[in-house]
Amino acid sequence: MKRLSIVFVFMVLLAASACNKTPDGKSYAISGEINVESGIIYLQEFHNKMFAIIDSAVIENGKFAFAGTLARPDLFGLTIDREETFSPYYIFLENSPVKVKIDTQNTQSAEITGSSVNDLYVAYLQSASEAGDAFRIDTFIAAHPSSIVSAYVLYRDFSYRLSREEIDANVLRLDASLHDTQYVKVLNELSAVLETVAIGKHAPAFALPDTEGKTVSLSDRLGKGYVLLDFWASWCGPCRRENPNIVKTYNEYKDKGFDVFSVSLDKEKDAWIKGIADDNLTWTHVSDILFWDSAPAKLYGVRAIPANFLIDKDGVIVARNLRGEELGKTLSELLQ
């Protein structure tokens, strides 16, 4: 019964979309309210898990407005923090009049009406939350093959959970009109990369600056035993919670042929270095300080962190994404 009700909601949202267009159907108009009397609010575009400012508006008496045209519906962000690049208020825009109400005490979401695409995204969030691990992205895409929401959700919420074959199958479920979107392009690139970093493949080589600016190569650390190639960042809560497990395992096996080589997806060097010190991470660390544009992350198809690859002395990937006691257990078996 729950599945039928969810499908019904999706169908109603799609049917309503035709009633929400601007007169010319070629522009959007945002009419906004915010519990801030005056200031500046920024409209941001989304690219590779990051947001960048494309427009700004003056807030007068708690009101603001934006207008423009879109080639297709897509995800944007609204924020009053000029430095915000990761967590603005999400808004899926289409060429329609949209009303936005922002309560700055609620940092998670804004009240948005007038965008059927945004309505579908909100419905997806609710459905995914209710279904948990039982949520089927393939079923969602089959119901909305032409929606940018399907492409975005597959890219953002499922690309790191799926195998190469599953990614390819779901991309094929998307309408051809979405194949030139940034999301599908990344998914196609990721599919190709996952083949190169599968278990049994040789770990791709790279070199980056360490904390002192000296270029260090991954290959320089191979050949003596097992190396854990660890992707993390100081801003990543799950990474920081996992670090004590890596520290414990490193201290136990560092004299038995085990090392760690960490790549940070930080965007600020000072925060990166402080995170290393605070968590007592005493092994080699490198970073290009490019956040989600990190070259090694792209090279290894990393779409979520923490992520890791266990590499043997011959440079072959023997395991990946080992967490908690699983890392120590695997090393115990390999080094016995």
Check which CATH number belongs to the domain holding 92 and give it: 2.60.40.10
Q: Please compute the mean of the pLDDT values over residues 283-290 and round it to a whole number.
A: 97
- Tally of domains in the chain: 3
Query: 104 with 172, same domain?
Result: no
Provide the pLDDT for residue 24.
55
Q: Please compute the mean of the pLDDT values over residues 128-143 and round it to a whole number.
A: 96
Query: 150 with 266, same domain?
Result: no
Domain boundary among 54, 87, 114: 114
Does any domain span residue 191? yes
Provide the pLDDT for residue 10.
45
Check which CATH number belongs to the domain holding 217 and give it: 3.40.30.10
Query: 232 with 328, same domain?
Result: yes
Does any domain span residue 264? yes
**% of the chain beyond a pLDDT of 90:** 89
203-217 pLDDT per residue, tens = 999 999 999 999 999
State yes or no: pLDDT of 293 exceeds 50. Answer: yes
Query: 187 with 211, same domain?
Result: no
Does any domain span residue 125? no
Q: How confident is the model at residue 3 (pLDDT cuts 50, 70, 90)?
A: very low
State yes or no: pLDDT of 249 exceeds 90. Answer: yes
Provide the pLDDT for residue 163.
93
Query: 147 with 185, same domain?
Result: yes
State yes or no: pLDDT of 266 exceeds 80. Answer: yes
Does any domain span residue 96? yes
Query: 46 with 103, same domain?
Result: yes
Does any domain span residue 121? no
What is the residue range of 328's domain?
207-334
Q: How confident is the model at residue 7 (pLDDT cuts 50, 70, 90)?
A: very low
Provide the pLDDT for residue 25.
64
Q: Please compute the mean of the pLDDT values over residues 2-23 and round it to a whole number.
A: 43
Query: 242 with 263, same domain?
Result: yes
* Chain mean pLDDT for the chain: 92
Does any domain span residue 3? no
211-235 pLDDT per residue, tens = 999 999 999 999 889 999 999 999 9
Q: Cβ–Cβ contacts within 10 Å for residue 51, how many? A: 22
151-183 pLDDT per residue, tens = 999 999 999 999 999 999 999 999 999 999 999
Q: How confident is the model at residue 6 (pLDDT cuts 50, 70, 90)?
A: very low
Q: Which residues of 157-190 are buried (b: 16+ CB within 10 A; e: fewer)?
A: bbbeebeeebbeebbebbeeebeebbbbebbeeb
Domain boundary among 196, 220, 238: 196
Query: 79 with 49, same domain?
Result: yes
* Strand intervals (E) in 187-266: 207-209, 215-217, 226-232, 258-264
Query: 228 with 304, same domain?
Result: yes
Bond preceding residue 244 cis, omega within 30 of 0: no
List, as one string, the DSSP characters of 116-175: HHHHHHHHHHHHHHHHGGG--HHHHHHH-TT-HHHHHHIIIIITTTS-HHHHHHHHHHS-
Domain boundary among 196, 221, 248: 196
Does any domain span residue 305? yes
Query: 179 with 271, same domain?
Result: no
Backbone dihedral region of 213: left (phi > 0), alpha (psi from -120 to 50 degrees) or beta?
left
Query: 245 with 180, same domain?
Result: no
Contacts of 136 (CB under 8 A, 6+ apart): none
Does any domain span residue 61? yes
42-95 pLDDT per residue, tens = 999 999 999 999 999 999 999 999 999 999 999 999 999 999 888 999 999 999
